[in-house]
Amino acid sequence: AVLGGTDIQQVGRATIGVEIHAALWNTTAGSFVDLHPASAVGTSFVFATNGSKQGGEIFTASNVHAALWSGTAASFVDLNPAGATDSKVSALSSNQQVGDATMGGNARAAVWTGTAGSYTDLTPAAATEAVLWSTTGLQQAGQATIGGKRHAGLWSGTANSFVDVHPSGYSESAIYDTTGTQQVGYAQLSGNSHA
């Protein structure tokens, strides 16, 4: 299954035997690359690519770790930060990976620049949880849970830069993609999700 891609590269998962492996294609079936690293236990996924790097997650014996590749299984980098029980990469740009990391049972908005040690928590002070779904490298987008409600939000590289763009009167919202000037996602009103 393809879960993400660019005009030159597609990423997702492929079932190999009884395991689910992170997968990469360059437009043709014959270009398939199995990205499943030796340290993964049974399952790995790729959710995003910028054409040269791929981001996703791998399952370990006890939890799920954010993962970064550069086109081969051997290039795998474990991005799970110290203190996190679980993590994942949801999107990436040329120089940045974003997603979330679970700390103390709560999802924290996460940014990396290629290593586990580069992890930065972008969860705003007013939020109990936050996740990131998109990045341009300069602007990050996702949602933060504030007052028990999920609010669409934008960041510019720090927790303090958070801008709450949740529309008044709606019960919840999220941004799934940003170009840096335009954002797309949903807002829920009376139980219905609106683009």
Q: What is the pLDDT of residues 117-174, one digit of tens each?
A: 999 999 999 999 999 999 999 999 999 999 999 999 999 999 999 999 999 999 999 9
**Residue 17 — pLDDT band, cuts 50, 70, 90?**
very high
pLDDT attached to residue 7: 87
Tokens 């690359």, located at residue: 33
Angle (CA) 78 84 85, round 5°:
95
What is the pTM assigned to this prediction?
0.94
**Tens-digit pLDDT profile for residues 66-114:** 999 999 999 999 999 999 999 999 999 999 999 999 999 999 999 999 9
Look up tokens 């270009």; give the residue. 31
Three-state SS at 142: strand
pLDDT at 144: 98
How many CA within 13 A on the CB side of residue 125?
Answer: 2
Residue 134 near residue 141, CB atoms below 8 Å: yes
Residue whose structure tokens are 């990396």: 112
